[in-house]
Amino acid sequence: MPRSSDRRGLEPVRAPRIGPGRTSPAAPAGARTAWGLATCGGLIAVGFLVSLVLAGLALAATGIASSRLGPPAADLTLPERTLLSVHLVIAGAELDRPSGEAEAELELQVAAGETASEVVDRLYAAAVVRNPALLRSYLRYRGLDRGVQAGSYELRGTMTLAEVAEALQSARAPEITFTVPEGWRREQIADGVTAAGFPFGVAEFLVQTERSVASLPEAEDLPSLEGFLFPDTYRLPADAAPEDLVNAMLENFGRRVDGSLRSAFEAEGLDLVGAVTLASIIEREATLAEERPLIAGVFLNRLRLGIRLESDPTVQYALGQQPDGTWWKSPLTLVDLETNSPYNTYRIEGLPPAPISSPGLASLTAVGHPEQTEFLFFRAACDGSGSHVFSRTFEEHVAQACS
């Protein structure tokens, strides 16, 4: 009987199995090197292909940006131009949409030395721009970031980003905004121009209001342009001369007091100077807008009947500036009503020789289109509301006096 050792020796030799927990025999060193080189070469090839694709996309983006937006700024480096082009092409649709909130408006004052980026930050804070990064890219790509200069700009959220960028290239010269309220006399306007920051003084302005102008031949014989310096808000360059402001006010008067209104004055029996003079009195008398046509009707009734106007503002005008520096003295005394002046309608018949203030359009319109009434008198109501009570007779007028 053969021995066990002999049986084992007869068994066939088997290759070792590879399975869990077992390691395959190590590959020869040459095979490992070849596999590594092949893998590395594949990665390099993929990277090269990706680079070609990205380069193609970048080249396409620069071409699209150039065709849509125009040539890029000459000082852009190639990487900078590429990055900006890609950004602008991807977000390009936003350039033609409203840049910010519909209600956003900004009167932007750019100081000397302020950068375009700082300006964009301010536009974003004011909701004029929603995408500040895109605006910066557009400005830089076009080279417009260098064109933002010190000055004044008017910008709105309804503008497109491209329009905002273009608007930032046209700064207005620094300006002064000056408002003339209805009812001011020219000396008050003169004080106001100094306070507003104009480079001329009171005396220089007043001299310009004492000249005749071709556009107002009717005012040639008047002592000044009082009444024709139309009350409104004016915006002029910070270096404006006094004649610039006066001319702007006269031109505004000419536009507002048009041919139809002048015809209405004539229908009431008034020439231009008479109509403006009456309107200037109404401007000082009326507090409530709705009473202006009725007050005009009362004054016109008195003029037609030859009754003195007896208007307090005409006395206040004659008294001039008070010791405390104010104008339009109030209250008036009985002595004040006896002031000897051609403007004092308690002493003179008809209208004063010239206007006493700058009437607004509402008072001028009231003269041309007065309310038809039988009232001949009015006085301030006793309730402090600023309204007036009106009477047909002097007895009624006296009875309405405050106790």
What averages of pLDDT result for each successive group of 10 residues across the chain (403 residues)?
44 49 53 56 53 49 63 82 83 86 91 90 95 92 87 91 90 87 97 93 95 84 95 93 96 96 97 98 96 98 97 97 95 96 97 97 98 96 91 93 86
CB atoms within 10 A of CB 347: 17
pLDDT at position 172 is 78
DSSP string, 175-201: EEEEE--TT--HHHHHHHHHHHT-SS-
Tally of domains in the chain: 3
- Residue 329 counted as domain residue: yes
Tell me 360's DSSP state.
-
- Which of 238, 256, 274 is where one domain is finished? 256
Helix (H) or strand (E) holding 109: strand 105-110
Contact 167, 99 (CB under 8 A): no
Contacts 24+ apart (CB under 8 A), 286-291: 286/363, 287/386, 287/387, 288/386, 288/387, 289/362, 291/387, 291/388
Q: Is residue 364 within 8 Å of residue 276, measured between CB atoms?
A: yes
Judgement on whether residues 63 and 118 belong to the same structural domain of the protein: yes
Residues 263 and 301 in one domain: yes
pLDDT at 93: 80
**Statement to judge: residues 98 and 114 lie in one domain:** yes
* 145 found inside a domain: yes
Separation between Cα atoms, residue 24 and residue 15, nearest integer Å: 11
| CA dist., res. 177 & res. 152, Å (int) | 12
Please tell me the predicted confidence (pLDDT) of residue 10. Answer: 44
The pLDDT score that the predictor gives to residue 309 is: 98
Please list the residues that pair with 123 across neighbouring strands: none
Name the residue with tokens 């390009």: 92
The answer as to whether 29 is a domain residue is: no
Listed in sequence order, the residues at least 6 apart from 398 whose beta carbon sits closer than 8 Å to its beta carbon are: none
- The rounded distance, in Å, linking the Cα atoms of 343 and 345 is 6
State the pTM of this model: 0.68
Per-position b or e across 50-72, b if 16+ CB within 10 A of its CB: eeeeeeeebeebbeebeeebeeb
Q: What is the DSSP string of 299-317?
A: HHHHHHHT-----HHHHHH
CA 234 – CA 107 distance, rounded (Å): 15
pLDDT of residue 67: 59
Given 171, 198, 230, the domain boundary residue is 171
321: exposed, middle or buried (Cβ count in 10 Å: 0-12, 13-18, 19+): middle
CA-CA-CA-CA torsion sign (199, 204, 209, 212): negative
Task: Please report which helix (H) or strand (E) contains residue 125, including its range.
Answer: helix 116-125
Q: Is 319 within the bounds of a domain?
A: yes
| Same-domain check for residues 264 and 391 | yes
Residues 138, 69, single domain; the answer is yes
How many helices and strands (H and E) does the chain possess?
15, 6
Q: Is residue 9 part of a domain?
A: no
Q: How confident is the model at residue 357, as a pLDDT?
A: 98
CATH code at 99?
3.30.1490.480
* Same-domain status, 225 and 287: no
Could you give the C-alpha distances from 128 to 98, 123, 124, 142, 323, in angstroms and in order? Answer: 9, 5, 6, 20, 50
Domain match, 67 and 101 both? yes
Distance CA(324)–CA(339), nearest Å, equals 20
Domain boundary among 171, 203, 227: 171
Asked if the structure places residue 15 within a domain, the reply is no
Q: Do the domain assignments include residue 26?
A: no
Q: At what angle do helices 29-69 and 132-142 cross, to 10 degrees?
A: 80
Examine the domain organization and report whether 361 and 385 are in the same domain. yes
Query: How far apart, in whole angstroms, are the C-alpha atoms of residue 372 and residue 300?
Result: 10
User: Rounded to an integer, what is the distance from CA 391 to the centroid of its chain?
Assistant: 46
Q: What are phi and psi of 98, to 5 degrees?
A: -55, 135
Q: Which domain holds residue 219?
A: 175-256
Beta bridge partners of 155: 106
- Whether 278 and 293 have beta carbons less than 8 Å apart is answered as no
Same domain, 160 and 179: no
Q: Are residues 285 and 334 in the same domain?
A: yes
| 157 plus 227 within the same structural domain | no
Q: Are residues 186 and 63 in the same domain?
A: no
Asked whether residue 24 is domain-assigned, the answer is: no
Q: 58 phi and psi, to 5 degrees? A: -65, -45
Alpha carbon distance 344, 93 (integer Å) = 69
